[in-house]
Structure 1
Amino acid sequence: MGLVTEEVRAKAESYTGDEICQEKAKCFLKEICMPNGLLPLKDIEEVGYDRESGVVWLKQKKSITHKFEAIDKLVSYATEVTAVVETGKIKKLTGVKAKELLIWVGISDIYTEDGGKITFKSPTTLSRTFPVSAFVVPEEVEPAKEKSSEATEVKEAVPVKEAVAVKEA
């Protein structure tokens, strides 16, 4: 992992375990204004992010191939994916390849553009642009009915002043 030096690891936030790593990967994508479905990894073992340098790394148990149905494209994710990120851009990407015709092409850069477009570049400067919507996964939201019944239970069980403190916490 050329980007992930011991110095970067020492300064970075890092997490282990699939559940927290899935959550943190989605949070970091949102933070850099990238679509939440861009990294459909499975069995993630580790996620790390050094905000100062922008270095990000993700490790999963085994490599996977994912089909983005909206654009009919296969993308392969290695066991280790690394990159340098900033708002609207992912640079020096390693561990990600897209299938073009009969060959797998490495992806080195990804950036979003005005108008809802996202562009993927290869190290040979070939690029492809797609709608951002092709990489967005609808987020699971609890039904409003369940939330309102929980809030009612809290109000009944706790005096009003404490209920406000509970909501802020």
Structure 2
Amino acid sequence: MASHAVALATGGGAIEVYKGGADCRRRLVEILKENSLPTGLLPFDDGILELGYNKDDGFIWMKQKEKKQHYFSKAKLTVVYEAEVAAYLQPSGMKKIKGVAAKELFLKINAEEFSVDGDPVDGSIHVKTTIGISRVLPASAFQLEV
């Protein structure tokens, strides 16, 4: 599939839509950096089918072929990403997250909010779940591994 970008003008502002793996992945990393978030927080590979972003309100969505699991070894945490993931980005944070859950023992616990305290490389990430559990993790655990 050829990669391409489309800008849609809506009443809520311009929406960027990208189709195809490598361009989606590159733009996702740029968007995370622009919002002072760790670049590996959403570790989608070139299997992203679609990436959409409304810079005005921060709404972002990603579609991939199927759900995937990712193990963040530095955080000792397995995260499940559904085939469709969406959230509202803000400087150093994400809210109203859909499609992201941590696996703890035999449970899947949905993430609701991420916020970065300090630098997105050396600071910490506060994760809030839909059941009220919070956890603080090193932001370095969520950087892209080169």
TM-score, scaled relative to structure 2: 0.85
CA distance in 2 between partners of 1:76 and 1:41 (Å)? 11
> 2:130 corresponds to which residue?
123
Q: Which has the higher contact order (CA 8 A, sep 6+)?
A: 2
2:49 to 37, 45, 49: 45
The structure where helix makes up a greater share of residues is 1
Offset of residue 9 of structure 1: 8.9
* SS class of match (1:11): strand
Structure 2 portions without partners, runs of 5+: 1-9
CA distance in 1 between partners of 2:59 and 2:11 (Å)? 8
CA distance in 1 between partners of 2:12 and 2:69 (Å)? 27
1:113 to 110, 113, 117: 117
1:17-96 aligned at under 5 Å gives the runs 17-42=20-45, 43-96=47-100
Check whether the contact 1:8–1:50 (CA below 8 A) recurs between aligned residues. Answer: no
TM-score, scaled relative to structure 1: 0.74
Q: Given the alignment of the two structures, is residue 136 of structure 1 paired with residue 146 of structure 2, yes or no?
A: no
CA distance in 1 between partners of 2:11 and 2:70 (Å)? 29
- Kindly report the root-mean-square deviation, in angstroms, between the aligned alpha carbons of the 2 structures: 1.9
Structure 1 portions without partners, runs of 5+: 1-6, 140-169
* SS class of match (1:99): strand
Rg comparison, structure with higher value: 1
Offset of residue 119 of structure 1: 1.0
Deviations 1:122-159 (A, max 9, x none): 112211110100111245xxxxxxxxxxxxxxxxxxxx
* SS class of match (2:30): helix
Aligned-residue sequence identity (percent) comes to 34
